[in-house]
Every structure is written in C-alpha cells, then in structure tokens.
Amino acid sequence: MPAQKNRNKLSVPEAPEASGVPAAPNGTEAQTYAVHRENGSVLAQILMDPRRSFTVVVISYINADVLRIDAARVAAQVGSAAQVFEVANGVETHRLERALPELMHIFGTGARVYPHGHQWTTRTPRPHVPRRRDQVAALYQALELEVLAAEYSNAPATLPVSVISEALVMGFPAADRAVVEVLPGGEQAVIRGEDLLPGVPVSWLVNKGQRLTGLHNPGTHVFDINSLLLPRPSPVSVYKHGDVALARVNSVCAELALVHLWPNNDFRIGVESISSNDLDSAEDLLTEGEVVRVRVLYENGAVRLSMLDVDDDETAVPAPALVHGGPAWLDYDRPYTSIFTAGSAVTGTTPDGLNATSQTGSSGVDHDEKESLLSPAQRRTALQSTQMQLVSARRTIDDLVAAAKQQGATDKVARALQDQLEDERRDSAGLARRLDTAEHQIEAIREELARTKTALVQLRQQRRSATSRTEMAAETLFTDPADQFTYDLLQAWARSVPPAEKDAHPLGTYSCNPQFLASWLAITEQQRSKTLRAVVDLVAERTGALRKREPHVLRLNEGAHAKPTMRGEDVCMRLYVEQRTAGALRLHYWKLRSGGVELHEVVSHNVVKP
C-alpha cells in the first residue's frame, strides 16, 4: 500500500539517530510516515473491512504512563509496508475489542500487527505488552519482522471447494454450534448458528442424531445446511381460528410485547390481551426469550394474538420446524435457562414508537438486584486484563531463557537471571490462580443469573395465569341450580364459538342430573370455567376441539376386554376437562339411545366409576 505522506503527518519526537532510525544520506531529509489516530469503533471497521489490502500496526498507550511505545518510530521503521494507528487505552480499546473477533484485542501499553488477506485472524501474532523500558527496544525489531512476515505470508492460496456431503449431528457444544460427523469418512465439522438464523439456538433447528445433507468445506470444517431451511409459512396454513400456538417473546415494554411465531416475524400483543387487570404492565408478566402460549384469532383478515383464557393444560398446536426434518422450533417444556447459555444471551429490541423506560406498576420483583452483579463488560475487562498480564509474564520468561542461552552468562549473572526467572514464574503462577479464580467467579455469577431469571419467569408465569382470566365469579341469578347452569353454559357457548361458526355448532340436546349439579357446585370457579368449555365442545359437537379431549367409553374395569358401563341402552362416556395437572378433572356423561347427552358428574381422573 503506498505510504500516506500528507495526511495526519506527525513529526518524530527524537532525532533520527536518537530513535534508532538511520539518517538519510547526502544530507537529504528522512521520509516521515503518518501515524493515524482513530477511535476504537472506526479502527475496528478498518480492520474488519474485507477489502483491506494493507497490514496494520495498532499501538495502545496509557495517558501519563512513562512507559510508552514510540508510534512515529514504528511508522518510520515499517515504512510503506504497513499503516500505523495509535489508540488510547480505556474506552477506545474497549470499543475496539467489542467489534473484533475473540482474542484479537490490544490492551494497556502494547502493540500488535494485524495482517490482511484471507483468514488474517488466524495469522495475527500475539500482542506485545512490554513491562520494562529495556523491553521496548527489542519490541521495535519484533514489530518490523512481524510486518515483513505478514506481507510474505499473504500470498494468495486456492480456497478449498465445498462439496455436497451427508453428516450426522453428534451434539451441541454451544448454543450457536452443532458438531456433525461427515459421512462416510468420519471427519468432524461444525454447523454455525450465524450462518442460519442468528439468535436461534442450533438445537432448536436440528436434532441430535439427525442425518443432514449440506455443503462441507474441508478447509474451514464448516457444514452449511442453508438449503434445508424451510420457507416461512403463513399463519393461516398452520393455525385455525382459536388454536393455541407457541410464541417466543422478542421484546417487552409496558404497553405491549412483540412475539415470534417463527423467527424474525413480529406479532404485537397489547397488555389488554395479556391481562384482564387494567393496572398490569406487560413488563411485569413477560420475559424476553420466554416461550408462551397464545390463542390465534383471525379478525377481518388480520391475525390477532391473545393470552386471555389460555389454560396451562390446553393442548397447543406444535410449532413449525425451521429445517427440513428438524424438530418443532419452540417447545413449551424446554427449560428457560437453555435460552441463556454462555456467549449467547437473548436480546430484543424495544417496540417502535414506545418508551421502554416508561413508568409501570410494581411487579413485586426487585429490579435493582442485578446492579449488585458485575456487568458483562466489567467481567470481560477484568478477565482480559488478567490474561494480558499472564501473556506478558510468559513472554518475560521466554526473554529471560533466551538471554541466558544466547549471552553465555557467567555463573553470577546466571544465578541472578535464575532468581529473576523464579520470581517471574511465581508471578505467572499467581496470575494463573487469579485467572482461574476469576473464571470460577464468572461461572458462579452466570449460574446465579440463570437461576434468578428462571425464578423470575416462574413468578411471572404464575401471575400471568392468575390475571389472564376474563371471567368473573359467576353471579347467582337463579334459585334453581339447573337454570343457573343453563344460563352459564349459554354464555360460555357465546364466548367460545366464533360468530361465523354459531350456525354450524348450535347447542344441542342435553340434560343434567342432580349428581352432576352437586359435583358442579363443589369445584372452584376456574374449574367451572374449564368444565363449561368442555361441555360446549361436547353439546355443540365441535369435532376438532372435542377430539383433543379424547372422549371414550367408560368400561366396567381396566381389563382389555371389559364391557362398557351401560344403563339400559344408554352408554357411559368420559372425556378430559383438564390435562397435565394434579387431580385433573374428567367429565362423565351418558350418551342416550334417544339422542343427546345427559351430564352425569365432574370427577377427578382417578375416579373410574359412574
């Protein structure tokens, strides 16, 4: 790259002889090369630019530190072979670090050479972090050699060609990675989440043991299955009106939440469709990344989602798969903490047009608890500071060993060097212990954060379950329990059956005996609401909803050939009112020979006699 001679030109602070740069012959003026100063974000953009065709030397410095690397001298030594950038330690090096790949940062008083070309991150030398003034002189020569090596190592190479292969999924070492075994050779490769659907764990896309066909790159060991991604479906092709679906909470503010029925497809749910309490805030009831149950409704050609009157035991339509042959991408029973794995925190954006910091009612959860923990940036900075010191200590040990071998030191010097080497080793061991302690502390904090988030989700789920009920305690309007039940059933039918389906599913012929009414009065208000919906499905002959309740003949005993329970020509039947709850309720009823049904009793699931 041609030297940039006229932009951001800095004068060399020392005379050429003093700085070690040879003076130009015949009294001509020495060439001065530019030292560039950019903030960390801009410097990261320069380094990560795929079109970058020049080597970069980055020098970091600490203000007011007496130990400082002379950037102008480095620029004069490397000449046109590289561009030199200087960046202040602190805020700017943190910005640089966040925008670069892992372990590509520079820290403190240090210098690092960044090659260019294909896979330059794999050829980037370690950072130089001098601890003493006498180490700085050797640093200048090392930088010059590394720049030269970077230029010669950048010869274009033939990239490996990806081939169509089959592979078997072996496991998931991280949220955004899956290890596969390429068949038939057995070579291992990796599926990267960022190549598919960023933000969605790979274990939600493919199953362990699943056989896949994709493009295998032997050079990068990457297995690409983009061709297996399924197109995004239309809601109407997956869900019918009134179906319960699974959705992932993408972001939450006080007035509404954005949820995904599938990735990158926002559906809004207002707080009035989450809770029947006018004082509730959506932020108190939902957590970003949480998987929730929603009812899919179609109104005037538009999709509307609601969480009101959705029972925890109500069967949800399985979420669609995102990869051909893969699992349903959402699973309500998947542990919430699996969403937050190391290096894969789920984040969301605040819904447009709303103030995410708007004041809401208290949720009973102390949100200031998180401030007592170190932030991710602080933990990362502390850990990397320790790592840099450890690298520096190891480099000092290498320097001391090399000096002892090359200089043929006397016994006295050798003993001094050996003592210094032991000191450095002790320091290195101490730093290693500090690093190990820091890593254990970070892991403990991460586990504590996961437990806290899981507990918070459970509390919000319990509160949401209590506040999402729209029915009020039934008002007694009739002295006769049968008349009151008939009134309540008519109201439940009016709410449950969409207007367009009422003509096709009117309330049919039914009756209820005294035993049913007694059992009806003995259950809780919430259980009555569930029982009403079950009776509506039965009496209105809502075939789809009724099939999920699995109506079946109640037999005399549990034997395989037991006879059905009969009353003359009437047969006793049984269906689910609740599922997957302790003491789940069942409805016993008689299917009459003359037509219609007689409601017999609401019982616990372990009662198998009429």
Three-state helix/strand/coil letters over 405-444: HHHCCCHHHHHHHHHHHHHHHHHHHHHHHHHHHHHHHHHH
Among 260, 251, 248, 269, CA closest to 331:
248
Q: Which residues pair with 224 in a beta bridge?
A: 215
One-letter amino acid at 528 equals R
**pLDDT, mean of residues 490-509:** 87
Among 113, 126, 38, 122, CA closest to 82:
113
CA–CA dist 190, 219 (Å, integer): 12
Structure-model confidence comparison of residues 591 and 161, the more confident one: 591
Structure-model confidence comparison of residues 248 and 363, the more confident one: 248
- pLDDT band with cut points at 50, 70 and 90 for residue 597: very high
Q: Is the pLDDT of residue 19 over 60?
A: no
CA–CA dist 172, 204 (Å, integer): 11
Residue 185: other Cβ atoms inside 10 A:
10
Structure-model confidence comparison of residues 420 and 606, the more confident one: 606
Least confident of 37-41, 287-291, 334-338: 334-338
Contact 358, 254 (CB under 8 A): yes
- pLDDT band with cut points at 50, 70 and 90 for residue 191: very high
Q: Which tokens is 514 given?
A: 């005294």
Which pLDDT value is given to residue 466?
59
CA–CA dist 324, 330 (Å, integer): 15
Q: Which residues pair with 84 in a beta bridge?
A: 35, 57
Query: What CA–CA distances, in Å, run from 149 to 82, 314, 581, 598?
Result: 12, 66, 68, 90
The fraction of the chain above a pLDDT of 70, given in percent, is 78
Structure-model confidence comparison of residues 222 and 3, the more confident one: 222
Mean pLDDT of the chain: 78
Which pLDDT value is given to residue 68?
85
**pLDDT, mean of residues 414-429:** 75
Q: Is the pLDDT of residue 138 over 50?
A: yes
Contact 167, 217 (CB under 8 A): no
Which pLDDT value is given to residue 435?
82
Segment 449-454 long-range contacts (CB within 8 Å, at least 24 positions apart): 449/340, 449/370, 449/373, 450/337, 450/340, 451/337, 452/369, 452/370, 453/287, 453/336, 453/337, 453/340, 454/335, 454/336, 454/337
Which pLDDT value is given to residue 589?
94
- pLDDT band with cut points at 50, 70 and 90 for residue 590: very high
Q: Is the pLDDT of residue 387 over 70?
A: no
Which pLDDT value is given to residue 360?
35
**pLDDT, mean of residues 243-266:** 88
Which pLDDT value is given to residue 366?
38
Which pLDDT value is given to residue 412?
62
Least confident of 81-85, 311-315, 565-569, 581-585: 311-315
Q: Is the pLDDT of residue 13 over 50?
A: no
Q: Which tokens is 110 given?
A: 């240090």
Least confident of 263-267, 314-318, 355-359, 448-452: 355-359
Q: Which tokens is 209 given?
A: 């043991």
Residues 6 or more apart in contact with residue 500 via CB below 8 angstroms = none
Backbone angles phi, psi at 306, to 5 degrees: -140, 145
Which pLDDT value is given to residue 167?
92
pTM over 0.85: no
CA–CA dist 161, 180 (Å, integer): 19
Least confident of 5-19, 96-110, 114-128, 245-259: 5-19
DSSP class of residue 157 equals -
Residue 297: other Cβ atoms inside 10 A:
16
Structure-model confidence comparison of residues 220 and 389, the more confident one: 220
Q: Is the pLDDT of residue 1 over 60?
A: no
Backbone angles phi, psi at 37, to 5 degrees: -120, 115
State the maximum Cα–Cα separation within the chain, in Å, rounded to a whole number: 125
Q: What is the pLDDT of residues 518-571, one digit of tens each?
A: 998 888 888 888 899 899 999 988 888 888 888 999 888 877 788 889 999 899
Which pLDDT value is given to residue 58?
92
Q: What is the pLDDT of residues 404-417, one digit of tens each?
A: 566 554 566 667 77
**pLDDT, mean of residues 196-216:** 90
Q: Which tokens is 391 given?
A: 């690298």
CA–CA dist 318, 246 (Å, integer): 7
Which pLDDT value is given to residue 380?
55
- pLDDT band with cut points at 50, 70 and 90 for residue 510: very high
Structure-model confidence comparison of residues 327 and 121, the more confident one: 327
Q: Which tokens is 1 given?
A: 């790259």
Among 98, 120, 80, CA closest to 39:
98
Backbone angles phi, psi at 110, to 5 degrees: -160, 175
Q: Is the pLDDT of residue 495 over 60?
A: yes
According to the 3-state scheme, what is the secondary structure of 286-349?
Answer: CCCCCEEEEEEEEECCEEEEECCCCCCCCCCCCCCECECCCCECCCCCCCHHHHCECCECCCCC
Q: Is 244 exposed, middle or buried (0-12, 13-18, 19+ CB in 10 A)?
A: middle
Q: Is the pLDDT of residue 337 over 80?
A: no
Q: Is the pLDDT of residue 449 over 70?
A: yes
Structure-model confidence comparison of residues 466 and 50, the more confident one: 50
Q: What is the pLDDT of residues 342-372, one digit of tens each?
A: 333 333 333 333 333 333 333 333 333 333 3
Among 81, 79, 80, 144, CA closest to 111:
144
CA–CA dist 496, 537 (Å, integer): 9
Q: What is the pLDDT of residues 598-610, one digit of tens each?
A: 999 999 888 888 7
* Helix, coil or strand: residue 500: helix
Q: What is the pLDDT of residues 20-61, one digit of tens each?
A: 333 433 443 445 678 888 888 888 888 888 888 888 999 988
Which pLDDT value is given to residue 112?
92
- Please give the helix or strand (H or E) that residue 267 lies within, else none: strand 266-270
